[in-house]
Amino acid sequence: MSRSTRMIEVYVKVTRNFQVTIPLEIREKLCIKVGDKVKFVFDEKSGKVYLVRVPETRIRLKSGRKLTIDEIEEIIEEGLKKCMI
């Protein structure tokens, strides 16, 4: 079983607020930029934690007509409610 993938192993320190810095080489490999979202996936069987970049999703509105300011504000409010869940 040969794999051509390379494992990157980097040690980081956990701060008192339980935060860690994602090392540059890993940020570059995952294309993580400031403001991006990531998720941690914990595999109970192996005891390993995986860091996964969450792709940005944007809602595109195709109404076929111009929206009023009230309609735009309503759409924004609905989006904010979904983010707060």
Name 60's Cβ contacts closer than 8 Å, sequence gap at least 6: none
Q: pLDDT exceeding 70 applies to what percent of the chain?
A: 85
Name 12's Cβ contacts closer than 8 Å, sequence gap at least 6: 20, 21, 23
Global confidence as pTM: 0.57
- Domain limits, the chain: 24-84
The per-residue pLDDT for 2 is: 53
pLDDT by residue (tens digit) across 13-28?
999 999 999 999 999 9
Residue 74 sits at the vertex; the CA angle it makes with 72 and 76, to the nearest 5 degrees, is 70
Residue 47's pLDDT band, with cuts at 50, 70 and 90, is very high
